[in-house]
Chains A and B, each alone.
Chain A
């Protein structure tokens, strides 16, 4: 451990920074109580939102000073990370970083740096955002720590495999790949599960080597237990939206999901979501609706449009449309049943083989159909995300089935999760207005 780095870490990441973030949170809470920035159509954010934001900000703050103090692993959003957390790694999620850049509307500027270096505009905009940040040294979070280890799991796409190959080349650090064969049918074959298991075992060996210590079974189990609990709580929060009117919109979920992705094995995450669930329940008791005049309830499929999160939420709320569920936020909840804390290794194999993105287009339709029933939905918005082929392919047939068989209006909204150049405000507004009319006509 580097003494200077440790001192800077102790001062900035443990004392001064958290104090500043706490002050910012208190200020935000105070402002929220005063009704600042309230929308006429949307309920105010959850009271716990500033705490969630503070937690996430602390994580990124720690990242600024963690170099030389803790080992750092850069990981994909669907990667099996419980053993890394148990080994004491600081985890950085480049996808989350890219989403922060998208929300802060600096993604296009950063992407331009990657494009300048030869990375095509046809590549996923998360990748371009992050590579651009890497090449230019610019980031809205201050500084990104250099990785000691890279872990890419193909359960969301093949894109991450290539992306992490680029990172491995750039940083010259070990890359561990956990390759999860795509599940075309109902079940993954025993061969696939065995293959994933072997790779997790191999990954643990590499991680132990980088961490300089052996994985303790107890801490592995403890982290897995917290992961499971946080995931269950997250799912419960989402499922509270079965209530009419829905207490929390999918747009809020997109923001509140950050800890379940990047901090899911931590005790504080469990506490956060437990408190969040209480607040959501309180909203239900008090009859608070996320869209004040909720009339239509719809499902959002695919990633959000990070740079227009608020604008799209407002636009829909104005038309009394509440986006109450999303396949994207659900993806982190639906893993809960697979996580068996008594055997973390086995449960990791299943949990990380079965995310929605590693399963067929028919499975996704099935999930959407289930959500339509469970959440009493009137329609579906399918974000056709130019940057994310694995999520978007199949949507045209899914729409066909939703509008045909289920008689639910379904809109295919062409956009991109991070690249504003692929989004036209006027066109989107027109399409969403037409969708609203379809919902009206359907009633």
Chain B
């Protein structure tokens, strides 16, 4: 395996951005307009939990049946983990994030402005127009907070630039089999997009793509679906077993690799791009769209099995699970479900189940 190109740590990137006079936006899952934030001078830094925070702070606001992404994010905020941010963007990905956004706005009222963003679930023609208009409203809000007023052309440029980032991300995912990286390193690389400025991410991605090796021969191959590859002990466990994740279908991963938009209006273009992204539970895609897509990914990547790595209490993901597993079963693709809390280590029982899956695949 080759060494991963150097990637700056999150804290360092934030510090550097602030030193340059930039502002930082804490961005909760799942879909967020990175380009728009950048156009207004914000560095988007995503908050998927994070794992391992003291959850007692959040426990006085949230019931125990709320997922650990939301619980940890709130705990992280309350314990000062987001002090270096100037804005909290809360996309409406699910009922739990809806609740969190609302609690932040109505009760907790943190120092930073809390900005919710609704993602449309309608299949109809009005969805794109609605989303474009919501993005315009968001831009106005960002302008108010940052005191910046980029012109439409400037915003469009950011959108186009981020599309390049998306294209590189797609290349990394599609070329995963040829990348001589461990699973842990691969995910460190693709997930660096969660906080790196686009330019830095592009550099790291291009370096990694230059390492592609046609003869790279992975051992057993899997597709990883679910929410987020945390706790990362799963990666270590797979690396130890010489298993390669050759395709990704996680919420934090490939489900956010959007195709480019077409419009010359930056907001319309962003909306077009988002709405034509891969089928996704949090967008309420149809069961057929989700399962067809997953089956296609498995076939295209040559994955022999699927791991659903879910965060406990994640309703959107849990709803699709039976349909997806049935579709895989019809194709003879075995799968396993590992449901985790971000704060727990991977249990022995889960490893045993993972091993049982691995035994079933060539």
Which A residues fall within an 8 A CB radius of B?
Answer: 117-120, 122-124, 154, 157-159, 161-163, 165-166, 168-169, 175, 177-179, 181-182, 184-185, 189, 191-192, 194-195, 198-199, 202, 360-363, 365, 384, 386, 389-390, 392-397, 400-401, 414
Contact = CB atoms under 8 A, between A and B. Distances in A.
21 contacts: A123-B319, A124-B315, A158-B121, A158-B316, A162-B316, A177-B123, A179-B120, A189-B137, A191-B137, A192-B130, A195-B126, A198-B124, A198-B125, A199-B124, A202-B126, A360-B106, A361-B99, A361-B103, A362-B106, A389-B66, A393-B100
Given A122-B313, A384-B63, A390 B284 contact: no
B212 interface: no
B319 A163 contact: yes
B107 A159 contact: no
Contacts of A169: 286-288, 323
B65 A122 contact: yes
A354 to B, nearest CB: 15
Contact of A165 (B108, B137, B287): B287
Contacts, number: 159
Interface stretch (B88-96, B250-258, B294-302): B88-96
Contacts of B349: none
A202 B101 contact: no
Nearest to A118: B322
Interface of B: 60-63, 65-66, 92, 94-96, 98-103, 105-108, 116, 118, 120-127, 129-130, 133-134, 137, 281, 284-288, 312-313, 315-316, 318-323, 325-326
A362 B95 contact: no
Given A361-B99, A393-B66, A396-B62, A195 B315 contact: no
9 smallest CB-CB distances across A and B, nearest first, come from A393-B99, A362-B106, A118-B322, A198-B126, A162-B319, A195-B130, A397-B107, A169-B287, A181-B118
Given A179-B122, A360-B106, A394-B102, A118 B65 contact: no
Given A119-B322, A360-B106, A154 B287 contact: no
A120 B321 contact: yes
Contact of B315 (A159, A178, A401): A159
A158 B318 CA distance: 13
A168 B287 contact: yes
Chain B at the A interface: SS class: helix
Contact of A168 (B105, B107, B286): B286
Contacts of A165: 284-287, 319
A284 to B, nearest CB: 36
Nearest to B116: A184
A365 B118 CA distance: 22
A317 B125 CA distance: 53
A360 B118 CA distance: 13
A117 to B, nearest CB: 6
B63 A392 contact: yes
A161 B316 CA distance: 9
Contacts of B121: 154, 158, 161, 177, 179
B217 to A, nearest CB: 35
A397 B61 contact: yes
A367 B337 CA distance: 41
A191 B286 contact: no
B286 to A, nearest CB: 6
B120 A394 contact: no
Nearest to B130: A195
A122 B94 contact: no
A202 B98 contact: no
B105 to A, nearest CB: 6
Contact of A361 (B106, B118, B122, B320): B106
Nearest to B320: A162
Contacts of B288: 169
Nearest to B106: A362
A394 B106 contact: yes
Contacts of B107: 361-362, 394, 397, 400-401
A308 B62 CA distance: 25
Given A123-B318, A168-B287, A389-B96, 11 more contacts: A117-B322, A118-B325, A120-B318, A122-B65, A122-B313, A169-B323, A177-B121, A194-B126, A386-B65, A396-B62, A397-B107
Contacts of B316: 158, 162
Nearest to B101: A184
Contacts of A384: 63
Given A166-B319, A198-B125, A390-B95, A122 B134 contact: no
A159 B99 CA distance: 14
B318 A122 contact: yes
Nearest to B310: A120
A117 B286 CA distance: 19
B105 A177 contact: no
A414 B63 CA distance: 9
A57 B169 CA distance: 57
A400 B118 CA distance: 28
B133 A191 contact: yes
Contact of A158 (B95, B116, B125, B312): B95
A162 B102 contact: no
Contacts of A158: 94-95, 98, 121, 284, 315-316
